[in-house]
Every structure is written in C-alpha cells, then in structure tokens.
Amino acid sequence: MNSPAQQGHHIVKAFSEELEQLSASVATMGGLAESMISDAIDAIITRDSDLALEVVERDKRIDALQHDVERQIIRLLALRQPLAWDLRVCIAALKISADLERVGDLAKNIARRTRALNEAEPLALTKSVERMGRLVQRHLHEVLDAYVSGEIAGAVGVWERDDDVDEHYNALFRELLTCMAGDPQLIGPGTHLLFIAKNLERVGDHATNIAELVHYAVTGSELTAERPKGTPLESGAS
C-alpha cells in the first residue's frame, strides 16, 4: 500500500499529465485549423476546387476535436478541481478551442465560396486576397506557437498588430467595390471575394482572441490596453 505522500505524488503526476494532454489536444486542433486556412487560400490562388472540397470535409474533424477537448476539461474540473494556474490553463483551453472551431467554420466558408468563384473567370484581385490571407495565417501561426511555448511575446505582438488585418480588408473592400461598379459582370465573382475577405478578417479577430487568452493563461492578467481595431467598412458576412 502506498503512503499518503506517495499517493499525493501520483495524483499530482496524473494531473500534470492530464493538463499536458489537454494542451496537446488544443495544439492538434490549432494545427488543423491553420492547415485549413492555408489550404483554403491555396485553393483560391490555384483555382483548385478539389482542394477546397477537402477543406470543407476537414471541418468535421475539427468539430470532433473540440468535443474531445470539452470532455477533457469537464473531467478535469469535476475530478481535479484545479486552482490558480491550472484553472487558467483549463479556461484558456476551453475558450481557445471555441475560437479554433470558428476558424474551421470560416475556412469551410471560404472553401465553399472558392468553389463557386472558380466557375467564373479569374480576377486579378485574388492576389490581394492572398496577401490578406497569408497575413491572417501568419497571425494564427504565431499565437498558436505562443500557446505551445508559453512565450507571450508572440501573442502580444499579434494583439498589437490586429489593425493590420483590418487595413488590408478595408483596402480590398474599396478595390472590389470600384471594380464591380465599373464592370457589372464582376458583381458575382466580386461578391464571393468580398465574403472571402470578410471571413479572413474574422479569422484575424479569432487569432487576436487567442493572443489575449494565451496572455491570460500565462500571466493571470488581461491585456488591459485598448485593443487595436480598424474601422470596419460594413457589417458581417458569411
């Protein structure tokens, strides 16, 4: 029979392993979300409808991963009753997984729009969408790296650069409206690009949310300065 001290050691070790598994599950979910965004952008540029369909199908996997993360957190809260840093890790994982699930949904939306866009003639402005998409993808990658490493500098950097995504979106929005006003035949494909750009802007918002959560999990404090934010030119799209 183990002594009370030995039993306590085993409990602490098991709890640490469960927290590590939780973080690994969120990291796996993040990697999938990042790959979905990357492939959705590639599908736009290469006009690859098959790749876009693969992105749509991958959304089921990210939904399943989120449910698994939620189950792990419920078990940890019920059995371990975590406090302080451990509790912050659980809360951050729960909220980050929700953000990543939304990123997956947005990648799926982009991929569906891409399949419709590919039925029209190519638009020169897809290059502008690519630049915006790569920026968003980079922000997502940096905050996920910060989550895995626990180094908050990368997360804070993304949070501070949130308005970069808004500036790209606003510029693209104006360009697309000008093009559609000059050529009515561009209204259909141009509208698809507008929705794609709006979805990318939302992915940027989720990356910034994750940056805030990483900062909270590591430091126990919120980013208190006013969140950088450009002025949106129109309301939400899907």
Q: What is the pLDDT of residues 3-19, one digit of tens each?
A: 333 334 435 667 788 89
- Residue 110 scores a pLDDT above 80: yes
Q: Could you tell me which residues come within 8 angstroms of residue 39 by beta carbon, excluding any fewer than 6 positions away?
A: 51, 54, 55, 107, 111
Of 96-110, 150-164, 216-230, the least confident: 216-230
Q: Could you tell me which residues come within 8 angstroms of residue 18 by beta carbon, excluding any fewer than 6 positions away?
A: 72, 75, 76, 80
Contact 100, 29 (CB under 8 A): yes
- pLDDT for the residue 223: 80
Contact 40, 111 (CB under 8 A): yes
Region 207-220: mean pLDDT is 94
Region 138-159: mean pLDDT is 95
Region 113-133: mean pLDDT is 89
- pLDDT for the residue 123: 81
Region 38-64: mean pLDDT is 96
- pLDDT for the residue 232: 47
Handedness of CA 32, 38, 44, 48 (dihedral sign): negative
Residue 4 tokens, joined = 């009370």
CATH number of 4-235: 1.20.58.220
Residue 207 tokens, joined = 């990356």
- For the entire predicted model, the pTM comes to 0.87
Residue 18 tokens, joined = 């469960």
> Shortest CA distance to 146 belongs to which of 17, 25, 21, 30?
30
In 42-84, at which residue ranges do the beta strands (DSSP E only) sit? Answer: none
Region 196-222: mean pLDDT is 95
How many angstroms separate the CA atoms of 54 and 49, rounded?
A: 9
Of 32-36, 132-136, 199-203, 233-237, the least confident: 233-237
Q: Which residue has the higher pLDDT, 226 or 188?
A: 188
What are the φ/ψ torsions at residue 118 (nearest 5 degrees)?
A: -70, -10
Question: Distances in Å between the alpha carbon of 233 and those of 167, 173, 177, 236?
Answer: 10, 8, 11, 10
Q: What is the pLDDT of residues 124-147, one digit of tens each?
A: 878 889 999 999 999 999 999 999
How far is C-alpha 53 from the chain's CA centre? Answer: 19
**What's the pLDDT band for 225 if we cut at 50, 70, 90?**
low
- pLDDT for the residue 236: 45
Helical pair 187-219 and 126-149, crossing angle rounded to 10 deg: 10
Question: Distances in Å between the alpha carbon of 161 and those of 67, 168, 170?
Answer: 31, 12, 15
- pLDDT for the residue 143: 97
Q: What is the residue extent of each domain of the chain?
A: 4-235
The label of the residue with tokens 């469960």 reads 18
Question: Distances in Å between the alpha carbon of 225 and those of 62, 95, 153, 207?
Answer: 32, 21, 15, 17
- pLDDT for the residue 159: 94
**What's the pLDDT band for 226 if we cut at 50, 70, 90?**
low
- Residue 31 scores a pLDDT above 60: yes
**What's the pLDDT band for 233 if we cut at 50, 70, 90?**
very low
How many angstroms separate the CA atoms of 167 and 173, rounded?
A: 10
Contact 199, 110 (CB under 8 A): yes
- pLDDT for the residue 227: 56
